[in-house]
Amino acid sequence: MDFKELTSRFVIYGNYLNSIPFGNGHINDTFLVTYNQAGVNTRYIIRKINKNVFKQPKIVVNNSVKVSLHIKNKLLNYDEGDISRKTMTFIKTHDNKYYYKDGDGDYWCMVLFFEGAYTIDYVKTKEQAFKSAKAFGKFQKQIIDVDIKGYKETIPGFHKLPERLLAFDKTMDINPVGRLKFIDPELNMVNRNRDISEEFSELMKSGAVPVRITHNDTKINNVMLDNETDEGLCVIDLDTVMPGIVLNDFGDMVRTSTSPVAEDDEDISKVKTRLDVFEALAKGYLGQLAGLLTKTELDKLVFGAKLIIYEQAVRFITDYLAGDVYYSTSHKNHNLVRAQNQFALLESVLENEKEMEKIVKKYSKI
Ligand code: GN1
Ligand code: MG
| pLDDT of the residue at 163 | 98
Work out which ligand 1 atom sits closest to the CA atom of 50: 11
Cα 239 to middle of ligand 1, angstroms: 10
CA-closest residue to ligand 1 atom 1: 26
Work out which ligand 1 atom sits closest to the CA atom of 252: 14
| pLDDT of the residue at 366 | 65
Question: Do 297 and 144 meet the contact criterion of CB atoms below 8 Å apart?
Answer: no
- What would the pLDDT profile of 311-366 be if each residue is shown by its tens digit? 999 999 999 999 999 999 999 999 999 999 999 999 999 999 999 999 999 999 76
Q: Span 161-171, mean pLDDT?
A: 98
Q: Span 28-45, mean pLDDT?
A: 96
| pLDDT of the residue at 27 | 83
Complete DSSP assignment for 205-254? HHT-S--EEE-S---GGGEEEETTT--EEEE--GGG-EEE-HHHHHHHHH
Mutational pocket test of ligand 1: of 24, 27, 55, the residue with most ligand atoms within 8 Å of the beta carbon: 27
- What would the pLDDT profile of 81-103 be if each residue is shown by its tens digit? 999 999 999 999 999 999 999 99
| pLDDT of the residue at 24 | 75
Work out which ligand 1 atom sits closest to the CA atom of 308: 14
Give the residues surrounding ligand 1 with Cβ less than 6 Å away.
25-27, 53, 217, 219, 237, 239-240, 263, 312
CATH class of the domain whose range is 3-115: alpha beta
Task: Report the percentage of the chain scoring pLDDT > 70.
Answer: 100
Record: fold of 126-363: Aminoglycoside 3'-phosphotransferase; Chain: A, domain 2 (3.90.1200)
User: Quick one: which ligand is closest to 154's CA?
Assistant: 1
Complete DSSP assignment for 61-102? HHHHHHHHHHHHHHHHHTT-S-GGGTS--BPPBTTS-S-EE-
CA-closest residue to ligand 1 atom 13: 217
Residue 33, pLDDT > 70, answer: yes
Cα 80 to middle of ligand 2, angstroms: 27
Q: How far is CA 69 from CA 23, 90, 115, 252, 257, in A?
A: 24, 9, 20, 25, 28
d(CA 307, CA 204): 13
Protein residues near ligand 2, an ion, with CB under 5 A:
217, 237
| pLDDT of the residue at 26 | 80
Burial 117-154 (b: 16+ CB within 10 A, else e): bebbebbeebebbbbbbbbbbbbbebbeebeeeebebb
Mean of the per-residue pLDDT values of the chain: 96
45 pLDDT tier (thresholds 50, 70, 90): very high
- What would the pLDDT profile of 107-154 be if each residue is shown by its tens digit? 999 999 999 999 999 899 999 999 999 999 999 999 999 999 999 999
- What would the pLDDT profile of 258-275 be if each residue is shown by its tens digit? 999 999 999 999 999 999
Work out which ligand 1 atom sits closest to the CA atom of 326: 19
Q: Span 177-195, mean pLDDT?
A: 98
Q: What residues contact residue 343 under an 8 Å CB cut-off, 6+ apart?
A: 186, 189, 313
Amino acid identity, residue 27? I
CA-closest residue to ligand 1 atom 3: 25
Cα 301 to middle of ligand 2, angstroms: 21
d(CA 242, CA 290): 22
Cα 49 to middle of ligand 2, angstroms: 10
Q: Span 22-48, mean pLDDT?
A: 93
Cα 52 to middle of ligand 1, angstroms: 14
Work out which ligand 1 atom sits closest to the CA atom of 312: 14
199 pLDDT tier (thresholds 50, 70, 90): very high
Mutational pocket test of ligand 1: of 159, 163, 218, 219, the residue with most ligand atoms within 8 Å of the beta carbon: 219
Cα 61 to middle of ligand 1, angstroms: 17
Work out which ligand 1 atom sits closest to the CA atom of 27: 2
The domain locations on the chain are 3-115, 126-363
Work out which ligand 1 atom sits closest to the CA atom of 54: 11
